Amino acid sequence: MTEQKPIVYILRGDDREAVETHIHHFYQALGQPDMAEMNMTRLEGKSANLNDLRSAALALPFLTERRLVVLEDALSLLDKFSKGANLEQMTDLFNSLPQTTALVLVISDTQKKRNRGGTWESYWVTLGKKHWLIQWTEIAGSKAMIIDCVLPSGNEMVNWIRRKATEKGGSFTPSAAVLLGEYLGSNTQRAAVEIEKLLTYVNLERPVDDDDVRRLSIQEQQSDIFEMVDAIGSRDGDTALKLLHLLLEDQPFLMVFSMIIRQFRLILQAREIIDAGGDEQAVAKQLGQHQFVARKVAAQARRFELPTLESIYHQLLQIDLDAKSGGMAGDAALDVLIARLANGLL
């Protein structure tokens, strides 16, 4: 007897590279590209309605074993049906799906840690144990599968880089993988691009080494982020703005902005750890960062008070919202923020 496959797959997490990889594997399982294209539907949770989902999920496949339906930003649609009779309507749809359907629910979520009784535990911010969808999967049993797509931590990222290189037919020296991980943090999408570039550079004839990473990857940009934050902490506004503008000359705003957000998020978390009595080792362990990064971040955290870092983080969020809603341009807003920080106005 053929083993029954799951019908509803939940891709939960913040690693978009992993999400796309899983969707690609589902797509390949449909067969030849022309057949796969005819048997795949992609819906957006913010714009689709329940009838759209029902029609796509209940449609029969054409000359293939299964039909693939991917619902992006799934909770934007599903949580509209999360209570009473509406919830029953949604779960009835899930329960009625045939084996010929593979419904993939893509749900952006983040894992955090909390201390309970002296023990640190991980939990999901959005799709936790009490969420109705998770409770339904427990009842559904083998009909549902949860696939966690969590961004790797600093130490895990090194293994991720080496594993991804192997999948592409190449390899990294251990130190080169550490170096690239330090530069990129947990940005797996950017890492995939950098790995492809580096493997092409060495033509798969030898392992990628430290010099290759320094020559082709983003050492200068990462170093400038550290230097820019150091300049802000030293109230050297001219240097901080100069470094910002140099970064924006080489990289698109969103890339630079994401690096700045990541840096201040790490600094804020490091400040909290230091205030709780932790040292650089604690910063490295709790943030999952390599010792080199932890040392730099801890040093920068000591330059700022916690309320200042919280204010900076909120200001960065506001810049992001303004840039997306047609407010002040992101690069101009960063100029203003850095000038205010350098003059001690925050």
Q: CATH number of the domain that 309 lies in?
A: 1.20.272.10
> 62: pLDDT confidence band, cut at 50, 70 and 90?
very high
16 with 131, same domain: the answer is yes
Phi and psi at 294, nearest 5°, equal -60, -40
* Per-residue pLDDT, 117: 80
Tell me the chain's radius of gyration from C-alpha atoms. Answer: 23
Q: List phi, psi (to 5°) of 110.
A: -130, 140
Is residue 307 assigned to a domain?
Answer: yes
Residue that terminates a domain, selected from 130, 149, 168: 149
Is the same domain home to 273 and 322? yes
If asked whether residues 102 and 133 sit together in one domain, one would say: yes
12 with 145, same domain: the answer is yes
Q: Given strand 144-149, what is the order of strands in its sheet?
A: 40-44, 67-72, 101-108, 8-13, 144-149
In tens, the pLDDT along 13-25 reads 989 999 999 999 9
Q: What are phi and psi of 252, to 5 degrees?
A: -65, 155
- Beta strands (DSSP E) in the chain are 8-13, 40-44, 67-72, 101-108, 111-116, 119-124, 144-149
Mark whether 233 and 303 lie in a shared domain.
yes
Residues 6+ apart with CB under 8 A from 223: none
pTM of the model as a whole: 0.64
Is the distance from CB of 89 to CB of 125 less than 8 angstroms?
A: no
Count up the domains in the chain and report the number. Answer: 3
- Span 169-175, average pLDDT: 95
Task: Calculate the average pLDDT of the chain.
Answer: 86
Average pLDDT over residues 39-62: 94
Span 144-155, pLDDT tens digits:
999 999 988 767
What is the DSSP secondary-structure string of 232-293?
Answer: HHTT-HHHHHHHHHHHHHHS-HHHHHHHHHHHHHHHHHHHHHHHTT--HHHHHHHHT--HHH
Same domain (yes/no): 25, 140:
yes
pLDDT at 201 over 80: yes
Residue 3 placed within a domain = no
C-alpha to C-alpha distance for 208 and 199, rounded to whole angstroms? 7
> Within this chain, do residues 145 and 32 fall inside the same structural domain, yes or no?
yes
Check residue 206 and give its pLDDT.
96
Spatial distance between the Cα atoms of 81 and 79, rounded to a whole number of angstroms = 5
Q: Is the pLDDT of residue 203 over 90?
A: yes
Range of the domain at 267: 220-342
Contact 273, 283 (CB under 8 A): yes
Q: Which of 105, 126, 149 is the last residue of a domain?
A: 149
Q: Give CA–CA dist 20/285, Å, rounded.
A: 29
The verdict on residue 299 lying in a domain is yes
In a domain, 258, yes or no: yes
